Amino acid sequence: MALIRIEGPDELYVSGLWALRVSDTLEELGVTHVLSLFNPSGLRNFKFEPWDVYAKDFRRLVIDITDVEDSNLLIELPAAVRFIADGLDREGKSAVVVHCAAGKSRSVSVIIAYLLWRFPHRFDPDLVPPGSYELSPPEGVANTPHTPHSNGTEQRNRKETAQQAVALALALVRRTRPTARPNRGFMEQLALWWEMGCPEDVETHPVYQRWAYKREVEESVAVGQAPSRLWFEDEQQQSSSSSPPSSGPRPASELRLRCKKCRRTLAAGSLIQTHASAEPTTEPCPHHFVEPLSWMRTELEKGLLAGRLTCPNDRCGTVVGRYDWKGLRCACGGWVTPGLSLQRARVDEERMPASTTAADGVRMGIRMPPGRGSL
């Protein structure tokens, strides 16, 4: 299988392991950098020279990762993209090869990550219609209708455009590499990569930390245990309140949930999750799903897989919902994991001006732990 050039201005190639055996082709193409998503140390060319001998003049980076859905490719993307960019930013002729075993999933995923970082304007679905790259939605990616904005009034944020942006980049790769097919887990991670803005530091980004924590929860639940580490979204928002807000428009107002009995604020804004109904319905869902919040600490620290959530007001203590780390199914058919639910019948809903930081939640009555702006 030959080295395949990715359409665009860069000398960027994708391949499987077999193509690397043709060392003469590597030389003819002026390859200077090789990024391996599969360890090529045992490889020999058709002259029977070992890889370390005939590739000694290449700049090389090995990220040995398994092509399975739960492999953490996301944490490797900054280093991989930086390596590709450095290789293509050299004076004079240079070329970069990205390969894995078959040249279909791991290598393609990293190339997509580079394209999203290098040419974001080419893959913003608010700017580029899906048909531009003869897009056919890959497995696991929703084919959301294209809704281009006019005069910037309908521009969506990166979370809303993530799946389409990744699908557009994959469509571009498939123009020269029709067999490209990243696994479902890698596609989800690439959507997060776009949502985060393709940052230099993934590990400290709140979106990554939230995703990594969800993986921890899933691993714990799989062995019948509650997570050993707790993550509270309101604390995270408070600690990162000095960070720039995410790109895209903000809603004019946000939902706030109060205890129906004592009026204590329980959750607001982005602390309230959305979930998709399994079946169309005109009735409101009987539950509000929320992120893990610091007022739940006492209950969640018990280490139970499931339990009740009570109002944090010491003078109230009314049961306002329940939780299950394995997940909860709403009456509408939607499934949320982990499931932390506030019953609609136990809370009052009201609209408020959109807040800009978690500190606004503190002023509304959401208590923070000591040292984090606690009232």
pLDDT in tens, 218-230: 999 999 999 999 9
Q: Give 160's contacts (C-beta < 8 A, 6+ positions apart).
A: 248
Domains in the chain with CATH codes:
4-147+155-203 (3.90.190.10), 253-364 (2.170.150)
What is the distance in angstroms between the CA of the first residue and the CA of the last residue of the chain?
Answer: 64
Cβ burial, residue 316 (10 Å; 0-12/13-18/19+): middle
pTM value surpassing 0.85: no
Rg of the chain on CA atoms, in Å: 24
Average pLDDT across the chain, whole number: 85
**Is there a cis peptide before residue 338, judged by omega within 30 degrees of 0?**
yes
Cβ burial, residue 48 (10 Å; 0-12/13-18/19+): exposed
What tens digit of pLDDT does each residue of 170-182 get?
Answer: 999 999 999 999 9
Q: What pLDDT, on a 0 to 100 scale, did the predictor assign at position 269?
A: 86
Q: Within 223-337, where are the H helices?
A: 233-239, 297-300
What phi, psi does 213 have (nearest 5°)? -65, -40
Q: What pLDDT, on a 0 to 100 scale, did the predictor assign at position 278?
A: 60
Sheet with 287-289: list strands edge to edge.
Answer: 287-289, 339-343, 319-324, 306-310
Sign of the alpha-carbon dihedral angle for 334, 336, 339, 345 = negative
Q: Give the residue from 309, 180, 300 showing the smallest Cα distance to 231.
A: 300
Amino acid identity of 42?
A: G
CA dist 43 to 32, 34, 35, 67, Å? 18, 14, 14, 19
Q: How many CB atoms lie within 10 A of CB 375?
A: 8
How far apart CA 101 and CA 19 sit, in angstroms, is: 10
Per the listing, tokens 């067999």 go with 179
Q: What pLDDT, on a 0 to 100 scale, did the predictor assign at position 245?
A: 45
- Long-range contact pairs involving 180-184 (C-beta distance under 8 Å, separation at least 24): 180/14, 180/104, 180/108, 181/104, 181/105, 181/108, 181/138, 182/104, 182/105, 182/106, 182/108, 182/109, 182/112, 182/138, 183/67, 183/68, 183/69, 183/105, 184/69, 184/139, 184/140
DSSP states of 175-241: TT-TT----HHHHHHHHHHHHHTS-S--TT-HHHHHHHHHHHHHHHHHTT---SS---HHHHHHHTT
Task: With both helix axes pointing from N to C terminus, report the angle between 184-196 and 206-222 in degrees, rounded to the nearest 10.
Answer: 150
3-state secondary structure of 20: helix
How far apart CA 157 and CA 246 sit, in angstroms, is: 8
Q: How many CB atoms lie within 10 A of CB 329?
A: 15
Q: What pLDDT, on a 0 to 100 scale, did the predictor assign at position 140?
A: 46
Is-catalytic flag, 100?
yes
How far apart CA 49 and CA 109 sit, in angstroms, is: 29
How far apart CA 58 and CA 35 sit, in angstroms, is: 10
Q: What pLDDT, on a 0 to 100 scale, did the predictor assign at position 156?
A: 86
pLDDT in tens, the chain (375 residues): 589 999 999 999 999 999 899 999 999 999 999 999 999 989 999 889 999 999 999 999 999 999 999 999 999 999 999 999 999 987 768 999 999 999 999 999 999 999 999 999 999 998 887 666 764 544 544 444 444 544 444 678 899 999 999 999 999 999 999 999 999 999 999 999 999 999 999 999 999 999 999 999 999 999 999 999 999 999 988 876 544 444 444 454 589 999 999 999 999 988 998 876 666 666 778 889 999 999 999 999 999 999 999 999 999 999 999 999 999 988 777 788 899 999 999 999 998 776 544 445 434 444 433 333 332
